[in-house]
Amino acid sequence: MALRLLKVPTLATAVFASSGFYLYNRRLDFNDLSLIRFGRAAATTAVISYDYLTAFKYVEYGTEEYWAVKSKLSELFAFFDETPQGAASLAQVHKAVLYDGRTVAVKVQHPKVQQQSSKDILVMEMLVRGVHWLFPDFAFMWLVEEAKKNMPLELNFLNEGHNSEIVSNKLAHLTFLKVPLIHWDLSTKRVLTMEFADGGQVNDREYMKAHGINVNEISENLGKMYSEMIFIHGFVHCDPHPGNVLVRKCQKSKKTEIILLDHGLYQVLQPDFRVNYCRLWQALIQQDMPGVERYSRKLGAGDLYPLFACVLTARSWTAVNSGISSVPVTLSEDVEIRTNAALYLPQINDLLNRVPRQMLLLLKTNDLLRGIETTLQTRASSSSFINMSRCCIRALARHKRSKIESRRRRLQITLTECFNLCRLSMYELFLWLKGSLLGLRVSNLLAFLH
């Protein structure tokens, strides 16, 4: 440990010296994107400079170039708001109006992001190698590998547009889901123009209360949407943070809608991985511990399967053994999980290096969804497990049918699927009656008779 601590000043000196050399060997412009992103990578800060939040940061007001840009915008849009609706590290979004009166959102990639992304990854790789040098037990090179694979996809906005259309088609039967339409004639690799859709963030309870939106309905529909993505289609939106998931009451139908934005990063699950993941969740919900071990091992967890089950569900091993669908989350359990996360960090690191790379983005997605449920106070609700079970039943039946040619056997699988879904619906009805006023009256009557 003493030897590792002696390495810390050396690494820090190298980082700051490299940053000093980087700044010394270029003209200092604090509005430059590369400086902002280098600082963010080196200091792990998400701050974006105020100047960077303007639409024409690199075009001086009143110059010939400025009026050329304004002229081009005037050709395409009847109105273009130069102040962005929102901004992130890769792009910013502007509100605009087409000449036919339709309101659109224009997502514009920041200048120099394409060139700067490779430098970002280089800095990330340097820092990861530095951490590994200090603490050999920790190997986080998979972070760099994932960034190298995913960054080009996120920087191509045409890929984002295609992803949005794919998920919209796959989930077209979910009437509560709204995916903004893409205007392909006004889109390129660096500019994406789409239908404008506004609403409150999915974790904004005050917004929902003010607009008469049922929090439990939102949580249930969000779980239903992601269960379909993961278990049925294997095509998963991997960035469901609150800024990318909005909610609103539709003015025409007065129904609650979930608006899904930012389709740059999707995970396409391999069939065998998806089926094993599906069976693992079934085992977790049904308290089938031999199944939990079997399918955790198939997904690469090995003898760390208890830790894997805890990481996947964000529940303690005691809760997993007792049944995550029947044991409520408690404050003491949350404290236990946070404490153990620090104690078992080397084992968690080992686990993350064992499981397939597809699992990493799913774990991230699970954490984001769990954070939303925690804010909405709907975590570990019975409806979420019922929706997951329903999707698992459908997915496994579809998988079995795809492997069999016999019509009789396929019919048997379909009938078994219908029976299991019907049984699940009856259980859901029982839970609803139990929690309803009628159920309470019947319970009180039975208690009185006894």
Query: What is the average pLDDT across 266-274?
Result: 93
pLDDT tier for residue 295 given thresholds of 50, 70 and 90: very high
Structural contact between residues 113 and 40, judged by C-beta atoms closer than 8 angstroms: no
The predicted structure's pLDDT at residue 48: 28
pLDDT for residue 229 is more than 50: yes
pTM: 0.77
Residues 382-409: b if buried by 16+ CB within 10 A, e if exposed: ebbbbbbbbbbbbbbbebbeeeeeeeee
Q: Which of 68, 46, 48 is nearest to 56 (CA)?
A: 68
Instruction: Give me the percent of the chain exceeding a pLDDT of 90.
Output: 37
> What is the average pLDDT across 423-427?
86
Q: DSSP states of 49-115 as a string?
A: -GGGGSTTTTS-TTSHHHHHHHHHHHHH-SEE-SS-SEE-SSEEEEEEE-TTS-EEEEEEEPTTHHH
The reported pLDDT for the residue numbered 54 is 41
Question: Does residue 144 fall inside a structural domain?
Answer: no
95: left (phi over 0), alpha (psi -120 to 50) or beta: beta
pLDDT confidence band for 306 (50 / 70 / 90): very high
Q: How far apart are CA 79 and CA 74, in angstroms?
A: 7
Closest CA to 126 of 110, 143, 149: 143
Q: Quick check: 190 and 363 in contact, CB under 8 A?
A: no
Residues recognised as catalytic: 239
What per-residue confidence (pLDDT) applies to 161? 96
Give residue 337's pLDDT: 83
Structure confidence at residue 435 as a pLDDT band (50, 70, 90): low
Residue 417, in any domain of the structure: no
Q: Please check whether residue 292 lies inside any domain of the structure.
A: yes
Question: What is the residue type of 145?
Answer: E
Q: Give the helix ranges, DSSP H, for 377-436.
A: 382-402, 407-435
211, 249 in Cβ contact below 8 A? yes
Say yes or no to pLDDT of 5 above 50.
Answer: no
Q: Is residue 58 part of a domain?
A: no
Question: For the residues 142-152, what does the mean pLDDT come to?
Answer: 81
CA angle (106 as vertex; 263, 252 as ends), nearest 5: 80
Q: What was the pLDDT predicted at 51?
A: 31
Average pLDDT estimate for 312-324? 87
Q: What's the mean pLDDT in 363-390?
A: 83
Task: Say which residue, 448 or 41, is predicted with more confidence.
Answer: 448
Range from 55-59, 150-154, 160-164, 187-191 carrying the lowest mean pLDDT: 55-59
Average pLDDT of the residues in 12-35: 37
Residue 232 lies in a domain: no
pLDDT over 50 at 49, yes or no: no
What is the model's pLDDT at position 31?
Answer: 39
pLDDT band at 448 (very low <50, low <70, confident <90, very high): low
Closest CA to 107 of 261, 255, 226: 261
For the segment 271-290, the average pLDDT, to the nearest whole number, is 93
**CA–CA distance, 196 with 121 (Å, rounded to integer):** 32
Parent domain of 367: 271-403
Average pLDDT over residues 63-76: 63
Compute the distance between CA of residue 380 and CA of residue 366 in angstroms, rounded to an integer. 12
Is residue 365, in this structure, part of any structural domain at all?
yes
- 40-49, 192-201, 327-336: range with lowest mean pLDDT: 40-49
Residue 7 has pLDDT above 50, yes or no: no
Is 287 a domain residue?
Answer: yes
Which of 90, 107, 372 has its CA nearest to residue 241? 372
| Greater pLDDT, 143 or 285 | 285
The average pLDDT across 317-328 equals 84
Look at residue 212 and give its three-state secondary structure.
coil
**What is the identity of the amino acid at 127?**
L
Q: Tell me: pLDDT of 372 over 60.
A: yes
Which residues neighbour 281 within 8 Å (Cβ) at sequence distance 6 or greater? 231, 388, 392
Helix or strand or coil: residue 363? helix
Q: Is residue 46 scored above 60 in pLDDT?
A: no
Measure the CA–CA gap between 276 and 298, rounded to whole angstroms: 7
Residue 7, φ and ψ in degrees, nearest 5? -75, -25
HSE-CB of 138 using CA atoms within 13 angstroms = 15
User: 281 versus 130: which is more confidently predicted?
Assistant: 281
Nearest-10 Cα torsion for 62, 68, 69, 72 = 140
Chain mean pLDDT for the chain: 80
Residue 64 above 50 pLDDT?
yes
User: Per the domain annotation, does 59 fall within a domain?
Assistant: no
- Number of domains present in the structure of the chain: 1
Q: Is the dihedral of CA 386, 388, 391, 393 positive or negative?
A: negative
* Residue 235 in this model has a pLDDT that exceeds 50: yes
